Structure 1
Amino acid sequence: MREGISLISGTIESIRVGKPASLHYKSKIVQSAIYKDEVHHPIHVSKTNLEGDKQSDLNHHGGPDKAICVYPSEHYPYWSEKIGQLFKAGDFGENLTIFGLTEDKVRIGDILKADGCLFQVTQPREPCYKIAARHNIDQLPFWIRASGYSGYYLRVLEEGILTKGSVIEIIDRAPQSITIAYANQIMHHDSSNREAIQSILSVDALSESWKEKFSRVLASAK
């Protein structure tokens, strides 16, 4: 742990896993694991996912850089008020619903500890059409990008057992101050800011997929 840092901690309010199932989207049926069931017992965390959790589209979900999807519970009241229907833990298909570690507090590259597990923050979660399909709200992915209330992904550094209600804390801060909120802002609202993009790309812990996305943005701006 770096000397002199102030620990920031949160609480794991919900743990969820799911497997691919049919999801209706407009005139099509697609496969998605966005519906996840809550787990009330201690669960094993591997380098690629939680025990019992699967992804249907490994090109965009899952893998070492996106092993665990996190969503802050603080945002659900906002969505309930905005949309006029109740939103609650698990409604965005996350694995962990966490209170206390929102996008403006968490940096890409931060090391988090919960129970015997170690995680590293890698990138914002990108909302796709499957969130729209689940809630039958076509605009929902666009509203998520606009709000910055995206959630984020974790890489698993040390496998272990995770339990609902456990404290999850930042035990080592990334040296660059690139928060998830800042990365969202640059990607979706200020993509012509070459200096900002280069600073984000300098973060070694950034996921490969977001390195590729920002590299393409830089190349297209030349």
Structure 2
Amino acid sequence: MSRVVAVCAVHQLLPDEGTVGITAIDKRAVVGPVKIGPYGVYADVQADRKHHGGLEKALYAYSQEDAEYWAAELERQLPPGWFGENLRVEGLDVNAARIGEQWQIGAHVIVEVTMPRTPCQTFARRVGGEAERGWVKRFSQARRLGPYLRVVKNGKVQAGDEIVVLHRPEGAPTILDIYRGP
């Protein structure tokens, strides 16, 4: 069964060297049911909607299996939200998701896969700067990106909710098929 491991929202805004000057990448798991609307998790922040938000990037999903891979590679714990994700999921190959694929999460929420996450320098700085030089390239080459999602139907989700693939467009490219990384 595919399910939500955690729903994550911004813990605190942090100063950042990027053009916006702040980042909302510091996400942490929240407890209980959380509203999901057109712009994603209520109480979350998208500091840079041009690159990391808006309607087509309302939510970012990352798999527990991929997080475990990186935990072994980096030799540290990577709790839900560490990748800046809103949804930590398990039992679903998010990197094989097709553009236009729709998932039902819990009883009401429906989301649609729109594009892969493109790792950025904000993410690299979060990972550890000097400790992980070349992080963007390394993350890209591992092809464990996770997808951005558009919200089709609002509702509430929480940890433990089942994820069901409702529609998988035949012949549509996967998020890895369209990714053009560094």
Mark the structure with the bigger radius of gyration: 1
Deviations 1:28-77 (A, max 9, x none): 99300111121111111111121101111111011110000101110122
Structure-2 residue corresponding to 1:181? 176
Deviation at 1:156, TM superposition (A): 0.5
Alignment match of 2:13 (pick from 13, 21, 24): 21
Deviation at 1:179, TM superposition (A): 1.3
1:69 matched to 2:60? The reply is yes
Summarize the Cα distance change of 1:174–1:29 in structure 2 as closer, same or farther, 3 Å threshold: closer
**Alignment length, in residue pairs?**
178
Deviations 1:52-105 (A, max 9, x none): 011111110111100001011101222122222222322101000011222443
The alignment's C-alpha RMSD in Å is 2.2
Structure-2 residue corresponding to 1:48? 39
Summarize the Cα distance change of 1:25–1:82 in structure 2 as closer, same or farther, 3 Å threshold: farther
- Letter matched to residue 4 of structure 2: I
Summarize the Cα distance change of 1:15–1:182 in structure 2 as closer, same or farther, 3 Å threshold: same
Q: Give 5+ residue unaligned stretches, structure 2.
A: none
Spell out structure 1 runs of 4+ moving beyond 6 A. Answer: none
Alignment match of 1:130 (pick from 122, 125, 130): 122
Summarize the Cα distance change of 1:83–1:180 in structure 2 as closer, same or farther, 3 Å threshold: same
Summarize the Cα distance change of 1:104–1:57 in structure 2 as closer, same or farther, 3 Å threshold: closer
1:169 matched to 2:164? The reply is yes
- Letter matched to residue 180 of structure 1: I
- Once residues 126 and 40 of structure 2 are traced to their aligned partners in structure 1, the CA distance between those partners, rounded to angstroms, is 22
What does 1:1-222 correspond to in 2, within 5 Å?
A: 10-18=2-10, 21-23=13-15, 25=17, 30-115=21-106, 116-136=108-128, 137-184=132-179, 187-188=180-181
**TM-score (norm: length of structure 2):** 0.89
Q: Give 5+ residue unaligned stretches, structure 1.
A: 1-8, 190-222
Deviation at 1:12, TM superposition (A): 0.3
Deviation at 1:113, TM superposition (A): 0.3
